[in-house]
């Protein structure tokens, strides 16, 4: 009887811990989603202050844009790139599709993928870029989720994969 009670208490404890962890992971996903929504808001409103609050300021952070030369190093590199981008774009409207967010069991790292259709005025001319792929990593630092890595790509048709 005593062994059964110990087993039942132990199993109950593990179930409670597991449920708490799942709840924490789900809460973290919601927080990460908020940061990703804020990033889209930055691209639409050109809000550098908001960008600064959701990006890590790590000097060794590396991200990639869609241009062959867009290898962005550190917060200063990201800030510089975004200011240049905002100078030549206006009226951005982004539509996010197929967003997937995963949070590590530790609750300290998350990664995501999504597809974006982006309408904007580029050098005062309207353009639309469909199917932009965005992936990235966020890290919980000082109780805040921060973007630590981004990678944009624009798909191209590859004849080798066409039927």
Choose among 47, 43, 35, 21: nearest CA to 144: 35
Alpha-carbon distance values, 60 to 50, 71, 73, 82, 163 (Å)? 21, 12, 6, 17, 41
> Which CATH architecture does the domain made up of 2-156 adopt?
Roll (3.10)
CA 4 from chain centre, in angstroms, equals 47
Enter the tokens of residue 39. 């990033």
Q: What are the residues whose beta carbons fall under 8 Å from the beta carbon of 150, sequence distance 6 or more?
A: 63, 64, 134, 135, 136
Render each residue's pLDDT in the chain as its tens digit; 163 residues.
Answer: 566 766 665 655 555 445 448 889 999 999 999 999 999 999 999 999 999 999 999 999 999 999 899 999 999 999 999 999 999 999 999 999 999 999 999 999 999 999 999 999 999 999 999 999 999 999 999 999 999 999 999 988 877 777 6
Question: Which stretches within 46-160 are classed as H helix?
Answer: 48-54, 74-88
What's this model's pTM, rounded to 2 decimal places? 0.84
């Amino acid at each position: 009887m005593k062994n059964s009670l110990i087993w039942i208490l132990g199993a109950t404890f593990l179930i409670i811990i597991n449920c708490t962890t799942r709840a924490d992971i789900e809460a973290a996903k919601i927080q990460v989603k908020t940061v990703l929504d804020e990033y889209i808001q930055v691209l639409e409103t050109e809000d550098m202050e908001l960008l600064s609050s959701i990006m890590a300021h790590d000097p060794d952070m590396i991200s990639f844009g869609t241009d062959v030369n867009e290898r962005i190093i550190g917060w200063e590199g990201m800030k510089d790139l975004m200011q240049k981008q905002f100078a030549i774009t206006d009226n951005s409207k982004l539509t996010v599709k197929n967003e997937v967010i995963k949070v590590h069991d530790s609750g300290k790292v998350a990664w995501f993928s999504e597809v974006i259709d982006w309408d904007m005025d580029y050098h005062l001319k309207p353009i639309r870029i469909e199917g932009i792929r965005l992936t990235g990593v966020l890290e919980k630092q000082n109780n805040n989720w921060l973007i630590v890595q981004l990678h944009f790509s624009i798909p191209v048709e590859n004849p080798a994969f066409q039927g």
